[in-house]
Amino acid sequence: MSNSDLANALLQACQQRGIMLATAESCTGGMIIAALTDIAGSSAVVDRGFITYSNEAKMEMLGVSAATLEAHGAVSRETVLEMAAGALARSRAQLALAVTGIAGPGGGSAEKPVGLVWFGVAVAGKPIIAERKLFADNGRDFIRRETVRHALELGLRALDQDQAVGVEP
């Protein structure tokens, strides 16, 4: 399934459940929200996208704590959990997708190599889920596209697992 097909499926799933969606993006620089808003009618379920490339933006826009960033770094489970929570709390959304990673070509290390991405999925009233993924270092564009794909898939999975979200069927 293409990223466009996944975005369309996620929009339909949100619409069927009567919920709004928000994103908090670092390494993708807005590509997830762009994939969603490229589709006509997306305004019915897309509330907003937070593009938080810098640590300052993560703190100011999403409420990520300086202590978290100092202790764990921007690319970490702890940071993505706070990003997802912040996106949910600072929007009208009931579903928030967050990503932070190292798209390369530089910036990687032995502990955090190029291709490492942390994903956060927050559904209102549920524990936030974090997932670590290490994509092949096949170039910046590849890593970013695969990050968008996986985030959309995680959003769909989260809604499939929680049929009680939003309006009662």
- What's the chain's length in residues? 169
Q: What was the pLDDT predicted at 161? A: 72
Rg, Å, the chain Cα set: 15
Measured distance CA(43)–CA(74) in Å, rounded: 30
Task: Report the helix count and the strand count for the chain, using DSSP H and E.
Answer: 6, 5
Residue type, 153: E
Architecture of the domain made up of 3-161: Alpha-Beta Complex (3.90)
pTM above 0.75, yes or no: yes
Residues 112-147: tens digit of each pLDDT: 999 999 999 999 999 999 999 999 999 999 999 999
Residues 21-74: tens digit of each pLDDT: 999 999 999 999 999 999 999 999 999 999 999 999 999 999 999 999 999 999
Smallest CA-to-CA distance from 100 within 133, 61, 66 is with: 133
Measured distance CA(124)–CA(72) in Å, rounded: 25
Measured distance CA(37)–CA(33) in Å, rounded: 6
Measured distance CA(135)–CA(107) in Å, rounded: 15
- What is the residue extent of each domain of the chain? 3-161
**Peptide bond just before 105 cis, omega within 30 deg:** yes
